[in-house]
């Protein structure tokens, strides 16, 4: 697994119309399944008069948590095409909801797949895509005279300080890119022998 991933930074909106049916798509940054479920409920409430609210989400840096829902559309004609757009853009921590207002004309299986896929793609086009790092947290306890050495290592490794406590025994909690975590631990531990 790599130590970076791509996600979105804002809400993207997309639109597609076919044979009087309207498809409104919304892409959201989400970090938990609970977060995604709450946004799906909000979407259903806001567009209560729509026939369908179909969705897909992918979570986690490894992109190993995902769910899809066709919300009454024929099987695999809505959720899967939405998920396909998320996957083809290699995104994670994202939820896309597509709300359909039925126009009175059936689109058929292939028509539905094209509609949901296109609406989802349009929402992604209106998102800011960003790269995020997978970080490890490291807690290091040390004596006060070691503070300059610890801060030198923090600066040279470009670690992010989450919290610090300076007392008789000091403690610092750091976050660093996963691939550099072992190197940081080694450098901090070597300070004990300087």
C-alpha to C-alpha distance for 59 and 44, rounded to whole angstroms: 21
Banded pLDDT at 125 (limits 50, 70, 90): very high
Q: pTM for the complete prediction?
A: 0.79
Q: Which residues partner with 59 through β-bridges?
A: 65
Gyration radius (Cα) of the chain, Å = 23
Name the average pLDDT for the chain.
Answer: 92
Summarised one tens digit per residue, pLDDT across range 135-164 is 889 999 998 888 899 999 999 999 989 999
Catalogue all structural domains in the chain, each as residue range(s) with its CATH number: 4-131 (3.30.230.30), 134-190 (3.30.70.240)
Q: What angle do CA 41, 45, 46 make, to 5 degrees?
A: 115
C-alpha to C-alpha distance for 151 and 143, rounded to whole angstroms: 13
Summarised one tens digit per residue, pLDDT across range 8-24 is 999 999 999 999 999 99
Q: Give yes or no for a contact between 63 and 92, defined as CB atoms under 8 angstroms apart.
A: yes
C-alpha to C-alpha distance for 174 and 186, rounded to whole angstroms: 14
Sign (positive or negative) of CA dihedral 175, 181, 185, 186: negative
C-alpha to C-alpha distance for 80 and 112, rounded to whole angstroms: 11
């Amino acid at each position: 697994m790599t130590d970076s991933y791509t996600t979105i930074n804002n809400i993207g909106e997309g639109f597609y119309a076919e044979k009087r049916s309207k498809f409104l798509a919304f892409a959201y940054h989400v970090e938990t399944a609970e977060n995604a479920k709450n946004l799906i409920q909000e979407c259903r409430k806001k567009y209560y008069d729509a026939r369908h609210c179909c969705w897909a989400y992918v979570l986690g840096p490894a992109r190993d948590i995902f769910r899809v829902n066709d919300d009454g559309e024929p099987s695999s004609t809505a959720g899967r095409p939405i998920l396909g757009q998320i996957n083809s853009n290699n995104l994670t921590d994202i939820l896309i909801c597509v709300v359909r207002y039925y126009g009175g004309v059936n689109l058929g299986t292939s028509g539905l797949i094209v509609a949901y896929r296109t609406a989802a793609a349009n929402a992604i086009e209106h998102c800011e895509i960003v790269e995020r790092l997978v970080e490890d947290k490291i807690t290091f306890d040390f004596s006060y005279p070691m503070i300059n050495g610890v801060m030198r290592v923090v600066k040279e490794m470009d670690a992010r300080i989450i919290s610090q406590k300076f007392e008789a025994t000091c403690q610092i909690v750091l976050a660093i890119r996963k691939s550099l975590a072992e190197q940081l631990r080694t450098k901090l531990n070597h300070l004990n022998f300087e």
